[in-house]
Chain A
Amino acid sequence: MAYELSAENQQRVKEVAARYPHNMSAILPALHIVFAERGWIDREACDHVAELLDVPPIHVYEAMTFYTYFPRKPVGKYHIQLCHNIACNLRGAENLIEYMRDKHGIEEDRVTGDGLFCLHRVECLGACGGAPMMQVNDDYYENLSPEKIEELIEGWKREAGNGRR
């Protein structure tokens, strides 16, 4: 079954497309709408966007593969994107990655067995003042330390009704 956006979101894609002189411009906003609804983007989603906007699918593939914000595989309930760029690196981002791996078994680029977490190293997220920092789904968490990470992760586990303690 080919992927399709909900009728409401299809309407939104059309509305957004009307803001631009050409439908091509709406590729990125449309991919954002798919991403917000589904959490990841694959070829079927691209084909659907191309069909909605009436643009050649290759242009959607080109854009989708160029921009790294859209995961091409499911990323779990909490998509942890930890900045490892210069400012966060100077303030100990590497330790946090190690901590998450050793303490919680959250490995890079892999969804944990319970489907909750996926850790990605990402480049600068533009919040170097609060380094080290990470983005989990839509929210920024700054001035991290192992203790703070521990607290957050435990909180999410409880929130998912999956607490182990």
Chain B
Amino acid sequence: MPTVTIDGKQVEVPDGLTILWAARKAGVNIPTYCYYPWFAPQGNCRICLVEVEGVGKLQIGCQTPVRDGMVVHTNNERVFKARRGVMEFLLLHHPLDCPICDQAGECDLQDYGYKYGFPVGRNRHLRRTFPKTDYGEKISKEMNRCIHCRRCIRLAEDYMGVHHIGMLNRGDHSEIGSYIEAAIPSGWAGNVIDICPVGALTDKKMRFSARVWDLEHVPARLKESAMKDPVKCRYGSEAMLGLYRGKIYRVTARMDEHRVMKSMICDEARFEHYDLDDWIIEEDADITTPVESGPRPARELEEMARKELEEEGKLNGGRVESPPPSEISSAPGTGMDLGRQTE
């Protein structure tokens, strides 16, 4: 067990842990954008830069593993300046539309902008803008707000099994999209809303109707009797309701304190049940333990649910017949795993 010193605090952590998690164990929060415990680190946002003594360059906390005797500074002037630089770059083209942005109040960019941002803008040029293209009827995409963390691409590929969205173009006009401007062909597409750290992907249903700081967030689960598609909802309805004066304004996945989703929820639970009677409130649900790894991908969840439902005899007697798996995974390239193929 290596012992590392993070901001003067000594902690003993398991081998192979990253600086980010070692710091969390030591009670030090390192900001992140592109890092998400569900995925392998990608290291492209550069906000988690930390200084490791004896190493010339600043290192990214989300990927660098700890070594015994490592001394890490996450909070000195050099690190602060680097993060301030990254914040400045991220905000260079970010529109100042927080007052009308649905993400405001739970936006990573706002939080870290407040801590690390320049108090003034030094950019004297027009902001880069993209034409607005949505992902279908339910998900609003505002590319101008995007910080290119690519969590949504990775979520779609790794967890939904859908090869549909990707990075287009190059350099500072690179853009996330499907190129063909179509909805994400998955029954779990809404999760990209929750995984987006900024307001680039938001819920069209709740658009402009409520502010998140007004909402009361209640963990809940969909009643079995209310499920139209039990194959998806069985493991895809552990949700969090956003209530305001007793009315549901939105449904999201449950998240820990770092705003990492506990699990995915299906689109039916997210978009189609706005009646409190459909839900069972689960007040005592655990929403504080940090998530350290990803859940099962959508395909496996569906298969599990299908098997159980068949055993319980509910599938064929159920109200709605679910599409067979072959149709669910009709999206091109589903299940393709490049790494596995060659090994």
- A22→B342 contact, CB < 8 A: yes
* A115-145 interface (Cβ within 8 A of B): none
Give Cα distance in the complex from A121 to B164, angstroms: 33
CB nearest neighbor in A for B331: A56
Known: A22-B342, A50-B332. A56 touches B164 (CB 8 A): yes
A22-B338, A22-B342 given as contacts; is B180 within 8 A of A43 (CB)?
Answer: yes
Please tell me if the beta carbons of B333 and A68 are within 8 angstroms of each other in the complex: no
Asked, given contacts A43-B180, A56-B333, A57-B332, whether A24 binds B338 with beta carbons under 8 Å apart, the answer is: yes
A58 at the interface (CB under 8 A from B): yes
Nearest CB of chain A from residue B260's CB, rounded to whole Å: 26
Q: By the criterion of a CB under 8 Å from any partner CB, how many residues of chain B are at the interface? A: 18
A45-96 interface with B by 8 A CB criterion: 50, 55-59, 61-62, 65-66, 68
User: Is A113 located at the chain interface by the 8 A CB criterion?
Assistant: no
Is A21's CB within 8 Å of the partner chain B? yes
B209 interface residue per 8 A CB criterion: no
Give chain B nearest CB distance to A126 CB in angstroms.
19
Are the CB atoms of A66 and B169 closer together than 8 Å? yes
Q: Does B166 contact A (CB under 8 A)?
A: yes
B166 touches A58 (CB 8 A): yes
Which residues of the other chain, B, contact A22 by a CB distance below 8 angstroms? Answer: 338, 341-342
Q: Which of B164, B331, B333, B338 has the most CB of A within 10 A?
A: B333
Tell me the residues in window 1-34 of chain A with beta carbons closer than 8 Å to chain B beta carbons: 21-22, 24
Interface: B163 (CB within 8 A):
yes
Identity of the chain B residue whose Cβ is nearest the Cβ of A66 in the assembled complex = B170
Residues from chain A with Cβ under 8 Å of B164 in the complex: 56, 58
Cβ A43 vs Cβ B179 within 8 A: yes
Q: Is the CB of B333 within 8 A of A55?
A: yes
For B167, list chain A residues within 8 Å (CB). 62, 66
Q: How far is the CA of A59 from the CA of B331 in the complex (A)?
A: 13
Which residue in B165, B169, B342 is a CB contact (below 8 Å) of A58? Answer: B165
Interface residues on A, range: 10 to 19
Q: Given that A50-B332, A66-B170 are contacting pairs, would A61 and B338 also be in contact in the complex, using a CB cutoff of 8 Å?
A: no
Chain A residue with Cβ nearest B170: A66
Q: Is B168 an interface residue (CB 8 A)?
A: yes
Residue among A21, A43, A55, A56 having the largest count of chain B Cβ atoms under 10 Å: A56
Partner of B168, one of A24, A50, A62, A68: A62
Contact partners of A68 in chain B: CB under 8 A: 170
**Chain B contacts of A57 at CB under 8 A?**
179-180, 332
Chain B residue numbers with a CB within 8 Å of A61 are 166, 168, 179-180
Instruction: Say whether B98 faces chain A, with CB atoms less than 8 Å apart.
Output: no
Name the B residues within 8 Å of A50 (CB-CB): 332
B53 to chain A, nearest CB (A): 38
B338 contacts A58, C-beta separation under 8 Å: no
Q: How far is the CB of B324 from chain A (nearest CB, A)?
A: 21
| Across-interface contacts of B332 in A (CB, < 8 A) | 50, 55-57
Asked if B336 lies at the interface with its beta carbon under 8 angstroms from chain A, I say: yes
Report whether A58 and B178 are in contact in the complex, using a CB–CB cutoff of 8 Å. yes
Which B residues lie within 8 Å of A66 (CB)?
Answer: 167-170
Task: Report B307-343 residues with CB < 8 Å from chain A CB.
Answer: 331-333, 336, 338, 341-342
Q: Is A65 a contact partner of B163 (Cβ separation < 8 A)?
A: no
B174 to chain A, nearest CB (A): 8
Chain A residue, CB-CB nearest to B168:
A65
Q: Which residues of A contact B166 (CB under 8 A)?
A: 58-59, 61-62
Shortest beta-carbon contacts, A-B, top 6 = A56-B333, A56-B163, A61-B179, A62-B166, A56-B332, A65-B168
Chain A residues within 8 Å of B, Cβ to Cβ: 21-22, 24, 43, 50, 55-59, 61-62, 65-66, 68
Binding site for A on B (CB under 8 A): 163-170, 178-180, 331-333, 336, 338, 341-342
List 7 contacting pairs A-B, 8 Å CB cutoff, sorted by A.
Answer: A50-B332, A56-B333, A58-B164, A58-B166, A61-B166, A65-B170, A66-B170
